[in-house]
Amino acid sequence: MSGLARLTGSELPPGIAVAARFEEGRCASGRILSHRGLRLTPSGHSYLLSIDSADAVHFAFYRTTSLHRQPYQRSGASYLPLDFSQLRTTAIAGYGVMLVEKTIRHLGLDTHVADDGIRSLFRLVTDVAGLHAVFAEIMTRAGVPLAQRQALSGETTLLTVPA
């Protein structure tokens, strides 16, 4: 958390925030926030993330193509507050699927984020190149094979939300 600690205490400039949860080698889910400035406030073992204005998109990587339970019926790192009708599904050969929310949501947000290095990740980036690097890390942690990660690297442009 020391990387986040040095960012607290002031308004941070516009950019992209990515918050994700993992089950190592199995799945990942999270949200991309294209924000116009944010604040991080220490709160125990996490941080309170406050954003007045952002565009947000949920995403997930599921190791299985067995999609008999809705994302909102799942728990832990495979949970999303959406159903499949709200998500675009991209098959990943030899792995499973990538899910991306179809609609960009405009919102203000106060939520807790953590970057514990085990089950959670929080990153701040300033451009699409930074977003690609974060998604390479997320796909690796979720267990997406290298060849598929490389093939999907162009697909992460689908995740870019307007600044």
Read off the pTM.
0.85
pLDDT for res 163:
41
pLDDT for res 59:
95
pLDDT for res 67:
75
Do the Cβ atoms of 14 and 36 come closer than 8 Å? yes
pLDDT for res 1:
42
- Residues of the chain below pLDDT 50: 1-2, 157, 160-163
